[in-house]
Chain A
Amino acid sequence: AQRVTQPEKLLSVFKGAPVELKCNYSYSGSPELFWYVQYSRQRLQLLLRHISRESIKGFTADLNKGETSFHLKKPFAQEEDSAMYYCALMSTGTASKLTFGTGTRLQVTL
């Protein structure tokens, strides 16, 4: 069975500090991984996906198959980064359904 673990419910950092949101997964196949973000009073939206290998809003995430991790990183946190972040794994079956972690709330303070 596939599983996504986000060990931190809350991560509080100062503005300008580096950010790392942890995500570990369990999946028998070749994983496709995503980070979704939910800003206050907004809908869930895609932040980035591992196959794109791009940086969005300064965030990057590298898939580490050896450690089964897909941690989200940003070198310098901004206030507007405060949000709920969900790591998700897409199954390779017909449905391509997403399995989400429980989420980490990032709080960036001055």
Chain B
Amino acid sequence: DTGVSQDPRHKITKRGQNVTFRCDPISEHNRLYWYRQTLGQGPEFLTYFQNEAQLEKSRLLSDRFSAERPKGSFSTLEIQRTEQGDSAMYLCASSPGSGGKNIQYFGAGTRLSVL
């Protein structure tokens, strides 16, 4: 197991285009998180899945953003009609459970540049 995997590592797109990112968590981790990190800031929580259920969404997640985890394994994050303000590093994290087991392991991230 090589840890949390994210694809692509970099994405350059034009304003108004749709983009989709993929995250493969550590196997058997039932919790999956998406965070966004802009320059000079720490990661900010976007959304959380427990298995296939999306249980919490940040108000940062506008209706142009949608995330899925259809079979409780990998997850996708789609941004529709991208804007320049969407340019950021998108991080995925997974964890094995709650309480003492809830250590979040991060992927390398997908860097999005919207031109």
Contact = CB atoms under 8 A, between A and B. Distances in A.
A77 interface: no
Given A46-B105, A96-B95, A96-B102, 16 more contacts: A43-B4, A43-B108, A44-B43, A46-B103, A46-B104, A51-B100, A86-B43, A88-B42, A94-B56, A95-B33, A95-B55, A95-B56, A96-B98, A97-B45, A98-B35, A98-B43
B100 A94 contact: no
Interface residues of B, number: 27
A101 to B, nearest CB: 5
Contacts of A51: 100
Nearest to B44: A100
B106 A97 contact: no
B33 A103 contact: no
Interface of A: 4, 9, 36, 43-46, 49, 51, 86, 88, 90, 93-103
Contacts of A4: 42
Contacts of A36: 106
B25 interface: no
Nearest to A86: B42
B41 to A, nearest CB: 6
Nearest to B108: A43
User: Which of B31, B40, B95, B106 has the most chain A CB atoms closer than 10 A to its own CB?
Assistant: B106
A9 B40 CA distance: 9
Contacts of A102: 40-42
A98 B95 CA distance: 12
A94 B43 CA distance: 19
A11 B28 CA distance: 39
A19 to B, nearest CB: 19
Contact of A43 (B31, B56, B95, B107): B107
A99 B55 contact: no
B74 interface: no
A98 B104 contact: yes
B45 A98 contact: yes
A99 B45 contact: yes
